[in-house]
Structure 1
Amino acid sequence: MSEARGVLVAGIGNLFLGDDGFGPEVVRRLAADGEPLPGGVRVVDYGIRGMHLAYDLLDGYDALVLVDACAGGGVPGELTLLQVGVDDLGTGEFDAHGMNPVAVLANLAKLGGTLPLTHLVGCTPADVGEGIGLSEAVAAAVPPAVAEVRALVARLTAAGPSPAPRPARTPAPERTRRS
């Protein structure tokens, strides 16, 4: 990206709630797999620290890639790629002690920031009850999600800074399903 403010890849989720730990697991594997990312890409496990993400976004990134478990009616382990714009956010009550990505992003302007081009790499969870560890279906979706984040980051860094994002919903090219 020119004048690399770069791309922020943010893992979102609570690893004490089963499949809600999908985002942190994907960014952990992304950081640990030994394959370098393009310059200007920062990978962070935010867990449930919404205020931390909000403040980091004030640094001004060209793009944001959120990685999170998201219930969308699909089968557990199904990956979805969405582009998120301001119009998709509505309003949300911001909790400085929790992580509601929609509320964090919706309130970014109140903190003096601007929503960068934003994508979500989401996975349909099987179980978000108390407990540590991903279900079999969601664990199987982690490697394809890492590949999807890498491909998205490559496209974002090759494209350079983008105009204001347009809401668009497109499914990820690869879907992971377990019987």
Structure 2
Amino acid sequence: PRMVVAGFGNVLRGDDGFGVEVVRRLQEEGSAPAGTVLLEVGTGGIALAQELLTPCQRLVVVDAMTRGGAPGSLYVVQVEGVEPARSIDMHMAVPARALGLAQVLGALPPEVFLVGCEPASTDDLTMELSPCVNVAVDSALAAVQTLLRRAHG
């Protein structure tokens, strides 16, 4: 089955670059199952909507998510509909718009998951992740791998 992993975020804003970093690490490891598309979406959701025009079974969105947990907390959420993605938090605005666009185009995959990390800081102009979020990248890699493998089962 074809699967898409989409990393969102602004790599110039510290922890906001979490999603992009996770996708880059997946690319470096080369460990994603065959048929997996790894997409560095960054801050523009249109690329994802375009990618989804080719049908896929499962989409995993990776992004910083502000939900009030301790910085570095990892969240894995299955999205039942596009609206909840928008209400989860402000940070998810770009992914939610991309998913909304995909829905309008009739291109939303049957299974959509969010893998999010609570940022420590997204206000500093830096390309470095904070230490706790950097640690969470490893957990996120494991979570994404699990989601991808489960789709093959």
CA distance in 1, matches of 2:86, 2:66: 18
CA distance in 2, matches of 1:42, 1:108: 16
Over 3 Å counting, the alpha-carbon distance change for 1:18 and 1:90 in structure 2 is closer
Q: Give TM-score scaled by structure 2 length.
A: 0.87
TM-score of the two chains, using structure 1 as the length reference? 0.76
2:100 & 2:6 partners in 1: Cα distance? Answer: 16
Q: Hey, what's the Cα distance between the residues in 2 that align with 1:143 and 1:44? A: 18
**Cα 1:89–1:148, aligned 2, differ >3 Å: closer, same or farther?**
closer
Give runs of aligned pairs for residues 8-23 of structure 1, distance below 5 A.
Answer: 8-23=4-19
Q: Gaps spanning 5+ residues in structure 2: where?
A: 88-92
Residue 37 (structure 1) shift: 2.3
Q: Measure the CA separation in 2 of the matches of 1:109 and 1:147.
A: 28
**CA 89–127 in structure 1, closer or farther in 2 if over 3 Å, else same:** closer
Q: Secondary structure at the match of 1:100?
A: helix
Q: Go from structure 1 to structure 2 and tell me whether the alpha carbon gap of 1:154 and 1:48 turns closer, same or farther (over 3 Å shift).
A: same
Judged with a 3 Å threshold, the aligned counterparts in structure 2 of structure 1 residues 132 and 146 are, in CA distance, closer, same or farther, namely same
Report whether the alignment pairs 1:77 with 2:81. no
The answer to whether structure 1 residue 29 and structure 2 residue 25 are counterparts is yes
Letter in 2 for 1:121: V
1:89, distance to aligned residue in structure 2 (A): 4.3
Q: What displacement does 1:133 show? A: 1.1
Match of 2:25, as an amino acid?
Answer: R
| CA distance in 2: counterparts of 1:70 and 1:149, whole angstroms | 16
Alpha-carbon displacement from aligned partner over 1:75-131 (angstroms, at most 9, x marks no partner): 00000100002252469xxxxxxx711111123232342343100111000000132
| Bigger mean CA offset, 74-83 vs 104-113 | 104-113
Native 8 Å contact 1:82 1:120 kept in 2: yes
Q: Distance in 2 between matches of 1:116 and 1:131?
A: 36
Separation in structure 2 between the aligned mates of residue 76 and residue 25 of structure 1, nearest angstrom: 16
Q: Based on CA coordinates, which of the two structures has the bigger radius of gyration?
A: 1
CA deviations over 1:12-55 (Å, ceiling 9, x no partner): 11101110000011111111124x32221111111112111111
Q: Which residue identity is paired with 1:50?
A: G
| Aligned partner letter, 1:22 | F
The answer (yes or no) to whether the contact 1:84–1:118 under 8 Å persists in 2 is yes
Cα 1:89–1:141, aligned 2, differ >3 Å: closer, same or farther?
A: closer
